Amino acid sequence: MNWDVFVTCAITGAGDTTSKSPHVPVTPQQIAESAIDAARAGAAVVHIHVRNPETGVGVRDTELYAEVVERVRAADVDVVINLTAGMGGDLVLGSGENPLPPNPDGTDMAGATERLKHVRALLPEICTLDCGTMNFASGGDYIMVNTPSILREMARQVQALGVRPELEVFDTGHLVMVKEMIRDGLLDDPVMVQLCMGIAYGAPDDVISLMAMVNLLPPGSVFSAFSIGRMQIPYVAMAALAGGNVRVGLEDNLYLGAGHLATNAELVTRAVDILGGMNAKIMSAQAVRDKLQLVKR
């Protein structure tokens, strides 16, 4: 059991969720306001994607990130900013019979330097690194692409910037990549891992699979765990019981309960209530900075 837990709120993601809930923020102002509300509800960390304000589609526009970050930093709350660096690894093959050329609708492939452009410009305390390539969406031809060479170069650049990488791990093989980057000196202590459970073609979110992943973590690493959909809320307790920290938010789940479309603040409040009922202490943003040796900008 982890008795000192920090809560991360994943504010919006890049998936096709904006048509499913009016609470999924789209514009920079909406994303920033939702992040600020989540922080007021008890989130120590906010994980941020941005979307095209006109279409709602996930993008990697530095100017949009800058507006969100500036609004959050100017607010009267203290929260750790965690920017995704997962965009730019999207490959959609042509079809099962004719995979090449890739389908331009949805394909967005960029090199390490381009994928980190917004991180370099804004210097958040944390940015994510997705630690492997995998089939991601059921029934289609989309592949999340993160090759060893891209990951190593991204890790090298993030390390040089003094930003803490949150290592997104979707299956056991991704932990092999994490351990190789530790071996090669590309990751500084404390290593920060996010166990992403229940995603199609990744590790399932049952207790045995979670604990198998936890038992494979690098010694001394700090980890969080989450699942998607209806399992997000049970995973608040499961992650803490497994010794980890917690992630909730509209990137991964739209509902507080049956028929109740949630806000990010409501999901954070529910997580804080669950953890409080378990006698766990909710960590502040500054406590997280101290624990993870983060540099506040």
Structural domain boundaries of the chain?
4-292
Q: What's the average model confidence in pLDDT over 110-135? A: 97
pLDDT digits (tens, 9 = 90+) for 235-275: 999 999 999 999 999 999 999 999 999 999 999 999 999 99
Q: What is the CA radius of gyration of the chain?
A: 18
Predicted local confidence at residue 276, as pLDDT: 98
Given a cut of 70, whether residue 183 has pLDDT beyond it is yes
Angle value at C-alpha 281, between 229 and 279, nearest 5 degrees = 85
Predicted local confidence at residue 137, as pLDDT: 73
Percent of the chain whose pLDDT exceeds 90: 95
Looking at 18-32, 43-57, 137-151, which range is the least confident one? 137-151
As a CATH number, domain 4-292 is 3.20.20.70
Predicted local confidence at residue 172, as pLDDT: 97
Predicted local confidence at residue 42, as pLDDT: 98
Mean pLDDT score of the chain: 96
Given a cut of 90, whether residue 196 has pLDDT beyond it is yes
Predicted local confidence at residue 296, as pLDDT: 85
Q: What's the average model confidence in pLDDT over 171-178? A: 98
Q: Assign 139 a pLDDT band (cuts: 50, 70, 90).
A: low
Given a cut of 90, whether residue 288 has pLDDT beyond it is yes
